[in-house]
Amino acid sequence: MSREVVIMLSQMSPLLNKWIESEFHKAIHKDFHEFTDEPHAMIGLIIFEQSIAGFANELAKGAMDALFEELSSQLLGMTNDMLKEWI
């Protein structure tokens, strides 16, 4: 799942793409230079994917909150208009 999230987010905007690409290169660098005792584990890459998944989760929550607020506002406006017509 995390790989798909990374790809999806990187395609959303050029700014996100540059940031994600930079973080990806940092993760690969960590795997080959800091986590040398586990060369096949790709610990840096796993941490990178999980952090991007957490970022995407928070981004989705914010988008859902904004969508809910917008829909609630529109529904309230429609309800008020209907009440005005009845009164």
Assign 19 a pLDDT band (cuts: 50, 70, 90): very high
Structural domains counted in the chain: 1
- Residue 34 is classified by DSSP as T
Structural domain that includes position 75? 2-86
For 74, the enclosing helix (H) or strand (E) is: helix 43-86
pLDDT at 87: 67
Q: What is the pLDDT of residues 37-61, one digit of tens each?
A: 876 788 998 899 889 989 999 999 9
Cα 38 → chain centroid: 29
Span 25-46, average pLDDT: 86
Residue type, 58: E
